[in-house]
Chains A and B, each alone.
Chain A
Amino acid sequence: MKRLNQFLLILSMLFSLQVTASDLNDIAIFYRCYSQITQKFPDPQLSQIAAVKAGKDPITACLEIFDSASFANKTHTLKAANVNDDNAKAVLKTMHTLHFSWFAMQFYPEIASQYLTNVNNILDSSSPASFLTKSLFDNASPMSDIVSGTVSYRPIRVFENVPNAPYNGTAIADYIFTNVKFASVGNLLGFEILPVDDTLDYSFDENQNPPESIITGTLTYNKHFGGGLMGHQTYLIQNIKSNTFNPTPDGGVKTMRNWSRSVFNDLLCRALPAVRESDGASFVDLQSSITFRNSQSCVKCHTSMDQMAGVVRGAVYSAKVGKFFNPGHSAFIEERTPTQPSADIFPTAPDPAFRNRPPEGRLYYRTHNGTLVDQAVSNLQDLGTKIAAQDDMYNCMAKRYYQFFTGIDGDIGDIADPHHGTLSSEELVVRGIILNLGQQLKTHQNSRVLIETILRRPEYKKSNFNVGGF
């Protein structure tokens, strides 16, 4: 019993080590940083450890390892990691996995009871996160690129431990696509650019048993709607989440609001409502047949979601292809050409022609400092430009990197909203730090610089990241 007490006593002491504040020495800071960016326990033989012992600045030493994953000076511009450089690969994987974890949707959805499992084999489900990873490791790529342009990235992976590599560029037996380069599986090496508007050929026998006629055809699997990651095929398929293969948005009852809700979450770190109670007032229409329009409390979420969703109104699924069982179905997102003139983007009655009108929408939300953003946008690319012109996307990225490196989750919402909870004095300090980092990021547009700034902050050198001491 005596021994038991001693044992428990020591365990409780160990626990207390992590919550009390003390200053870390340089070696400990290096170990902390190295483990965070590689997700590996460092080998004591690592040359940087000797260098830090000899007086090198620990953050500089850690950033050396971080920068080994940089795209600079690589023969293939988009390839980060040398296959033989374990640290570089680990850094790339850690940061990409981190970026991927920021997305609300990470799977291909089920549509009309059909799982789009087959899409996975062509479009890596983490493709939208590639924009963030690319921007981080390519110094020439400004942060605003993540919401701009029609480039379509896809991870390049290499098989190390996983059996049955599919990634050899050719179709395998029983596979329905005959001319497609599969998404690779394995450790991340970098990114490739998939040709936009690329097509693939398919050939399958829907029911297999008894054999019926073989269905063949060609379809476009990689349309891009503009606006960087928001218009990437993967992002559209994952987030539009229509419950039918033939969505007919009417701007009222039916609209692509899952997608815009994800944009608020993924790029602005905002849950809805992103406006104040009073901002919904002018949209309340008690006569409307659309029930959420009758109530201010409902409308205040819909004003942000539905107005933004207008920019993807033209999205429509390609022909659904695939066998009933393995390898599952596929459907990709194509774009309707507008045939009708512009009209109210937030109609109070369902508009049957809504889906055939130009992809116009509105960016409508309250910023971190309470300003109401209310801007018309003419398409997805324009939405990206307008998001990138505000502070909130940068604050959001600063908040997330800061949280990754310190564990501290700051509040960057509209705290002046009477509905918003009151922040403690310590939370206000942390908010100030993050908003400042966000402001800097907006200016320099470089997430690698942002990370260095975070690592060099005083709280990073504290055993408990200064929690309780701000």
Chain B
Amino acid sequence: MKSIIFNHYSLTKAIWLLILLCFISCVGGTKSELVIENRSPSSNSSTLYQQHCMSCHGEIENSEKIGRTFTQIKGAIHSGAIAAMNGASLLALTDQELQEVADALDRPFPPGPPQTLQFKQILGGREYLISKFKMIFMTDGMSSSEETTIKNLIDDFLTKPGYLGGKCEHLAFCSNLFGITQQEDASALVHPIPSVPRRGVLTKACQEILSLDTAVTNALTFASLTSSSTANETNIEKLFTVMNPSIIINSTVSSGLINLHTEAKTIHALSDIEAWQMVIYALCVSPTFELL
């Protein structure tokens, strides 16, 4: 099979864009609607602060020295312990002026910006992805040359050391004393952080593996389909469910995949297996494929 869809430069670029967009928007959450009122300090004392303190301790609203008393400020200036505060201009400040600065600083700490719920998609680690690619795209016990190629591709992209980690199991560090030089990224096993290189590796793996007919037929067989199966709602759902068993498909996605298959055949005159190749490729490169 020709890898027609994979060489389309603008396609690849657009996929990247979508993937990146997803990783921005998928870290979802809600914004708090609370509005926080800030008590603003009186103008004269804040001028004194601006003139004498701001350069070192930041703007009055977020000053490091909020809550400091007259005694603390006077102590800081006159004790001699803080060399930076020994300047003539500070030493010249009167008690009255220091009291005003203290008044300006006497207010509650400004609350930080409202938070959003921190949420990270739970993605499968390296081991999960290896077992998933093997389960879907390989057949147990078959030893055709294409099967071997698929296995090698999975090994090359996912098993070998690289963005998704390596083989060494001496958590976090592998001494080269015993001839083990590969290092495993412990975090790659559990709760990996979605990253651009990781997406790149997986997209490439999907491309290379799916340019082999056997991989396409294996995936179809795994879903109890064949290349001549019609792309109807039932069959699309079968395929989707075996590839993403913990995610429930909806009718929009289902009809989108049906259209993809139909247009591949009607408008672009692709063969049955090539049309399914498109559908499986879409499922394979979607970050949904990595979700647990």
Enumerate chain A interface residues (CB-CB to B < 8 A).
2-4, 6-20, 22-25, 27-29, 31-32, 35-36, 39-44, 90, 93-94, 97-98, 100-101, 106-108, 117-118, 120-121, 124-126, 155, 157, 161-166, 172, 175, 183, 185-188, 277-278, 284, 286-288, 294-297, 326-328, 404-411, 418-427, 430, 463-465, 467-468, 470
Give A99 Cβ to nearest chain B Cβ, in Å: 10
B68 to chain A, nearest CB (A): 8
Other contacts beyond A93-B189, A327-B177: 20, CB < 8 A = A2-B267, A3-B5, A8-B15, A36-B122, A39-B190, A40-B128, A101-B187, A108-B173, A118-B175, A125-B171, A126-B172, A172-B178, A287-B79, A296-B68, A326-B176, A409-B120, A424-B29, A424-B33, A424-B116, A467-B29
B174 beta carbon closer than 8 Å to chain A:
yes
CA distance A118 to B98 in the complex (A): 58
With known contacts A94-B189, A98-B190, A185-B180, A422–B32 Cβ distance under 8 A: yes
Closest Cβ neighbor of A288 among chain B residues: B81
A467 contacts B122, C-beta separation under 8 Å:
no
Output the nearest chain A residue to B111 by Cβ-Cβ distance: A422
Interface of B toward A, CB cutoff 8 Å: 5, 8, 10-11, 14-15, 18, 21-22, 25-26, 28-34, 36, 64-68, 72, 75-76, 79, 81-82, 108-109, 111-122, 124-125, 127-128, 131-132, 135-136, 167-180, 186-187, 189-191, 242, 245-250, 252-253, 256-257, 259-260, 263-264, 267-268, 278, 282-283, 285-288, 291-292
Inter-chain CA distance A22–B250, complex, in Å, is: 10
CB-CB under 8 A for A97 and B171, given A17-B288, A408-B119: yes
Q: Which of A41, A328, A424, A463 has the most CB of B within 10 A?
A: A41
Considering only CB atoms, which chain B residue lies closest to A12 in the complex?
A: B18
User: Nearest Cβ distance between residue B235 and chain A, in whole angstroms?
Assistant: 16
Q: How many A-B residue pairs have CB under 8 A?
A: 285
Tell me, in angstroms, the Cα distance from A154 to B189 when the chains sit together: 20
B263 touches A3 (CB 8 A): yes
Distance A423 CA – B118 CA, assembled complex (angstroms)? 11
A25: which B residues are within 8 A, CB to CB? Answer: 248
Query: CA of A23 to CA of B247 in the docked complex: distance in angstroms?
Result: 10
Contact sample, A vs B, 12 pairs, CB 8 Å cutoff:
A6-B263, A7-B11, A13-B252, A35-B124, A157-B170, A162-B168, A166-B178, A185-B180, A297-B65, A404-B190, A424-B29, A468-B28
Is A14 a contact partner of B288 (Cβ separation < 8 A)?
yes
State the 3 A-B residue pairs at the shortest beta-carbon distance, nearest first: A424-B32, A421-B112, A41-B132
Name B67's closest neighbour in chain A (CB-CB): A277
Q: Closest B residue to A285 by CB, please name it.
A: B81
User: Which of B167, B169, B247 is close to A28, meaning CB atoms less than 8 Å apart?
Assistant: B247
Question: In the complex, how many angstroms separate the beta carbon of A96 from the nearest chain B beta carbon?
Answer: 8
User: Complex Cα distance A9/B252, Å?
Assistant: 10
Contact A126 B120 (CB under 8 A): no
User: In the complex, what distance in Å separates the CA atom of A39 from the CA atom of B136?
Assistant: 16
Q: Which of A12, A14, A100, A117 contacts B186 (CB 8 A)?
A: A100
Bound Cα distance from A277 to B109, whole angstroms? 9
Distance of A296 Cα from B68 Cα, bound (Å)? 9
Query: Contacts A6-B263, A35-B246 given: A286-B253 contact, CB under 8 Å?
Result: no
The answer to whether A407 touches B121 (Cβ under 8 A) is: yes
Q: How far is the CA of A44 from the CA of B256 in the complex (A)?
A: 26
List chain B residues, Cβ under 8 A from A297. Answer: 64-65
Given contacts A6-B263, A162-B168, A424-B114, contact A14 B189 (CB under 8 A): no
